[in-house]
Each structure stands twice: as structure tokens, then as C-alpha cells.
Amino acid sequence: MDIKRSHLLRQLPGVNELLQYFESQASSRHLPRKLMTQVIRDSLETQRRHLLAGALDRLPSDLNRSELLQYIHHRLVQAQRSRLCRVINATGVIIHTNLGRSPLPAVALERLLEVGGYYSNLEYDLDAGCRGSRHDHLEGLLRDLTGAAAALIVNNNAAAVMLALNTLAQGREVIVSRGQLVEIGGSFRMPEIMAMSGARLREVGTTNKTYLRDFEAALSPETAVLLKVHMSNYRILGFTHEVPLADLVALGHQHGLPVVEDLGSGCLIDLSRYGLEKEPTVTEALKTGVDLVLFSGDKLLGGPQAGLVLGDQAIVERLKRNPLTRALRPDKLTLAALEATLRLYLDEPRAVAAIPTLWILTRPLAEVKRQAQNLVRRLRSRLINGLQVGLCPSLARVGGGALPQLALPSQALSVAHPEWAAHHLEARLRQANPPVIARLEQDRLLLDVRTLLPEDQHLLVSVLENLLPAAKNHLS
């Protein structure tokens, strides 16, 4: 090794020396020793690799000790933070699967604290004084809200699909239109879930057109279920034909076969009343006489991750008795948050105001614009770090496998800096506390205002205020 490199490596302080230093600092004194030691070891290792691999003419002649201390300090601050954390969604994608889909309504959070922080009657029947079922708590409410005869909650909608097919069609055939063999979010693929459930896929029709007669021709003694899958995250345009759910139900029942619809997002209110594209509601689907509808709790419903199974009493009972249900059951926190969210739907205006996903979706553009202007005004009077903010029209997306073609009019802040490229600012925002997830569009950095929650605003202002001076302090 060359002299310069070994000289620098020898200047690296030891773990114990650094440990002593950081244990004497007010900002890190309270950290668990184990965590501190680990961070210091990792940091030294990173430095060592950097010195070994760096181009010789780019290396300093002496180690910059204060820079090293600052770097370790920065990593210690990061190590104290939870890995799973709140972020500000400025992407304009409302139900963003990567960002946790639906933020919960405040009443649901209150229920989480109460049911989670104390004992509860999760599986205890308070009237009879004996063992009860966790599956009983929400059934009445779901019946009232949707008209369903029976209901079951599982871990998520993928679990609901798997459970329904396993219960009704293991070892037999499920007929589904070729145009509906969806993949959602990269990991939910209908053919794969079906294979895991033990059912055999029988595709009918073509990609763009499937008729009732295609289903009819595929019927055989092997047939167990007729399945319809909602085209959640795509549309087939041009010359198309889909079998209406009511026709499929009539055919199924004529042959004594259950009909199942995977609704995907599953909406309880008619969105067309708010000027949005019509999504079939859960109640409308059930009115066709379909035996089961399946949908997610955290998409348009706006609650916690869950899979809701609604429909025929006898069939739901069969699902409940399947041992697989034990493996897919929801925990008490899910049930608590879901119950609180569903209760809001007893009063639709209240639901739209209190469920963040619905509030964001139905906010008038004028209100989004007002908020954007306010933000720009506040930022322009406070930013001294060279950031330039402007306003521009934007289009928000619903995401989460709902209304794939709908572009919601929105407003965005455009953020720029004479010396920092947009992608660089975008990366800095991701590293902020809390992280801000922005959108890059043709080399412009945009912060969509529609998906900002009311409490995000002042945090966003402070993140932007502190973005660059802090950024220049870090090593690496």
C-alpha cells in the first residue's frame, strides 16, 4: 500500500476513543451503548473502505477529524430514528402502495390506542361470559352498511381471494375472463394466487372481448366457481366486451355454481356524486346476487390493511370453517381501526370529511389551489437558502388499483435551485426528517399539494427551510 493511504488509515481513531467522545456529548449520551458501538464500527469501516478505494490524488494529506465526527454524529441521529416512519406524500398519488396506502382517520387512531393499550373483548363474549369470536364484531355493521348477509375479515384482499378459491374450488376449475388475469403491485398475480389456492384456472375469451357464451362453453363437471376480477389498475380500450356481473350471476345460479367478484378497491359510496368517475359500489355488486365480493380495507375504503369478504351466509360460513382462515385472520388492531373507519360510513358526509383518502379525493381544486398559494407565500418569505418555489398545474392520480384513467386536477409547487439539479434536491428531500417524497417530471421537481395532509404543511415548510445548509454538512 502507498504511504499516503497507510498514513491516513493510521490516523483513524479507535472505537473506544470515539465511544468515549460520543458518550460525553449531550446529544448522544442517552443512546444505548450497543447501538453506539455498532454505529461507530460501521462508520469506521465505511471510512476505511473509502480511504482504500479512493483515487490517490483525491485523498487529503491528513484525516479531517471534525468531518469524521460530524459524519458519525449524523449516523447516530439516524440510528435513533425508527426505520419505519412517517413521510410526506407529495407525489400526487393518493392511494400509494409504497407509502402505506391510506392514512387512517383520527377516530381509528383513538381506537388503536384503546384496544391496543389495554385488554379487550377480542375473543370474549361479554353477554355470555365465555369465549367469543373475533369475527363477530364487525359483521352487523357491514350488514347494515352494504346489505350483505354475512361478512368475514382477513389479513388483506390477496388473502380473501386465496381463501375463497381454496374453500370453494380446491382441485377444481375457476372460470375467468382472459382480460382479467391481473397483476397488481408486482406481487399479486391472479394466476399465481389461484395456483396457490389449489384451484385450476380456466381462462376464457380473449384479451379484449369475453362473452357469456365463452363462460357457458367452458362449463363442465369440473367447474367450481365463476370469477370476475375488477380491472383495478388498467383499462382495455377500443373494441371490448366484458360480461356484466348480473349475467354471470344468472349463469352461475342456473348451474348451481357460486359466483365471486374480486372488487379490488371496493368503494362504499358512489363517487360520481363528487364529480368522479363511477366505480361500482359494494352494495351495487351485492344487489346482483353475487355470492361473494372481496375487497381491500386500505384502498378506497380508507381504513387499515384488511381483506373484506361479504356475501352469502352459507358460503361465508364455509370460509370461516376453513383452517386457512386461522392463518389469515386479522389482529385486534386491524379490527379496531376497521370498525372505527366503517362506523364513519353510517353518515356519508362525515365519512368524506373524516377519512383522509376520501377527503383528498373529493377536495375541490379551488381549495387545493388556495393551500398551494398559502404555502408559496410562506416559503417565499422564509427561504433564504436559494431555493426557488413556484406554482404549476398538476394532475393527481388515485393509485392503489382504482380509477386508473382518472387524472384529478391539482396544483404543485415547483422547487428549483440555481446550483442543485432537480434529482439532487429530490434525493435530499427523501433524506429529510420527515422524508418528503416528491415527483420528478422532465427534470422539474414537483410537490403535489393535493396529497398533503393538513398537518404536513408546517413540516414541509421547515424541511424546505433546512434542506440545503444541512445537506452540505454531511460527509459522503
Ligand X SMILES: *Cc1c(COP(=O)(O)O)cnc(C)c1O
Q: What residue ranges bind ligand X (CB under 6 A)?
A: 156-158, 161, 182, 184, 188, 229-230, 232, 262, 264-265, 296, 307, 401
CB 134 within 8 A of CB 125: no
> In angstroms, what is the minimal distance from the CB of 217 to ligand X?
25
Scanning the structure block, which residue is given the C-alpha cell 380473449?
A: 206
Query: Least CB distance from residue 265 to ligand X, whole Å?
Result: 6
Q: How far is CA 204 from CA 177, 190, 207, in A?
A: 5, 14, 9
Radius of gyration of the chain (CA): 27
Residue nearest to ligand X (CB): 264
Is cis: bond before 60, omega within 30 of 0?
no
Nearest to ligand X of 230, 343 (CB atom): 230
Distance CA 87, CA 142 (A): 32
CB closer to ligand X out of 164 and 452: 164
In the complex, least distance from residue 266 CB atom to ligand X, rounded to whole angstroms: 9
Q: What are phi and psi of 240, to 5 degrees?
A: -135, 155
CB of 457 to ligand X, least distance (A): 29
Nearer Cβ to ligand X, position 18 or 229?
Answer: 229
Q: Position of cell 363517487?
A: 271
Compare residues 229 and 335 and give the one whose CB is closer to ligand X: 229
Bridge-based pairing of strands 88-89 and 388-399 is unpaired
Q: Which is nearer to ligand X, 212 or 231 (CB)?
A: 231
Tell me how far apart the alpha carbons of residues 224 and 173 are, in angstroms, rounded to a whole number.
5
- CA–CA separation, 358 and 302 (whole Å): 7
Q: Could you write out the three-class secondary structure of 370-387? A: HHHHHHHHHHHHHCCCCC
Tell me how far, at minimum, the Cβ of 109 lies from ligand X, in Å: 20
* In the complex, minimum distance from the CB of residue 315 to ligand X, in angstroms, rounded to a whole number: 19
| Contact predicate 151/308, CB 8 Å | yes
- Residue 429, all three cell numbers: 428531500
Nearer to ligand X, 258 or 266 (CB): 266
Nearer to ligand X, 328 or 438 (CB): 328
Question: Minimum Å distance from CB 307 to ligand X?
Answer: 6
In the complex, least distance from residue 448 CB atom to ligand X, rounded to whole angstroms: 22
Chain centroid offset of residue 104 CA: 11
End-to-end CA distance of the chain: 23
How far apart are CB 264 and ligand X at their closest, in Å?
Answer: 3
Q: How far apart are CA 162 and CA 259, in angstroms?
A: 15
Nearer to ligand X, 262 or 291 (CB): 262
Closest to ligand X by CB, 76 or 161: 161
Distance CA 169, CA 302 (A): 31
User: Which CB, 13 or 401, lies closer to ligand X?
Assistant: 401
> What single letter denotes the amino acid at residue 233?
N
Nearest CA to 404 out of 234, 189, 279 is that of: 234
Q: Are 238 and 199 in contact (CB under 8 A)?
A: no
Minimal distance, residue 191 CB to ligand X, in Å: 12
